[in-house]
Amino acid sequence: MYESITKEVSDREAVEACLRGETEMYRHIVERYKERAYYMALMFTKNHEDALDLSQEAFYRAYRSLGDFDSSRSFYSWFYRILKNLCINFVNKHKRTVRMDETMQQIFRDWDDYPDEVFEKNERSEIIWKALSQLNEKDREIIVMKDFNEFSYQEIADALEIPLGSVMSRLYYARKRLLKKLQHFEGAL
Amino acid sequence: MNCEQARILLMGYLDGELDSEQEKELRRHLDTCPACRAEWESFKNLKEDTSNMKFKLLPEMYWDEYWEKVYNKIERGLGWIFFSIGAIILFGFGFYEMFRDFFMNPKEPLALKLGVGFLSIGLIVIFVSVLREKLMVRRVDKYRRVIR
- In this predicted model, which residue has the larger pLDDT, A107 or A76? A76
Question: Of B8, B77, B147, which is closest to A169 when you measure between CB atoms?
Answer: B8
State residue B52's pLDDT score. 86
Q: Say yes or no: A109 and A94 in one domain.
A: no
Is A167 exposed, middle or buried (CB count within 10 Å of its CB: 0-12, 13-18, 19+)?
buried
Q: Sign of dihedral through CA atoms A51, A57, A61, A64? A: positive
Residues of A in Cβ contact (< 8 Å) with B74: 23, 26, 60, 63-64
Query: Using the 8-state DSSP alphabet, how is residue B99 labeled?
Result: T
If pLDDT is split at 50, 70 and 90, which confidence band does B91 have?
A: confident
For chain A, how many structural domains are there in total?
A: 2
Q: Which residues of A130-151 are buried (b: 16+ CB within 10 A; e: fewer)?
A: bbbebbeeebbbbbbbbbbbeb
- Return the residue in B55, B62, B68 with the most chain A beta carbons within 10 A, the one to mutate for interface testing: B55
Query: What whole-number percentage of chain A has pLDDT above 90?
Result: 57
State residue B138's pLDDT score. 54
Instruction: Taking residues A123-144, report their average pLDDT.
Output: 88
Q: Say yes or no: A71 and A107 in one domain.
A: no
- Is-contact A50 A36, C-beta < 8 A? no
Asked if A52's CB is within 8 angstroms of B66's CB, the reply is yes
How many secondary structure helices (H) and strands (E) does chain A include? Answer: 9, 0
Domain boundary among A53, A79, A98: A98
The yes/no answer to whether this complex scores an ipTM above 0.90 is no
CA–CA gap between residue B98 and residue B112 (Å, rounded): 16
**Residue A137 sits in which domain range?**
103-189
Q: Which CATH number characterizes residue A163's domain?
A: 1.10.10.10
CA–CA gap between residue A178 and residue A128 (Å, rounded): 8
> pTM of the full predicted structure?
0.75
- In this predicted model, which residue has the larger pLDDT, B45 or B130? B45
pLDDT digits (tens, 9 = 90+) for A14-59: 999 999 989 999 999 999 999 999 999 998 888 889 999 999 999 9
Q: Say yes or no: A64 and A5 in one domain.
A: yes
Residues of A in Cβ contact (< 8 Å) with B56: 48, 117-120
Instruction: Taking residues B78-92, report their average pLDDT.
Output: 85
If pLDDT is split at 50, 70 and 90, which confidence band does A8 have?
A: confident
Q: Say yes or no: A84 and A160 in one domain.
A: no
State residue B132's pLDDT score. 76
Domain boundary among A98, A133, A165: A98
Average pLDDT, chain B: 85
Question: Of A38, A52, A60, which is closest to B77 when you measure between CB atoms?
Answer: A60
State residue A100's pLDDT score. 47
Domain boundary among A98, A122, A143: A98
Report in angstroms the alpha-carbon separations of B87 from A58, A86, B92, B116. Answer: 27, 28, 8, 19
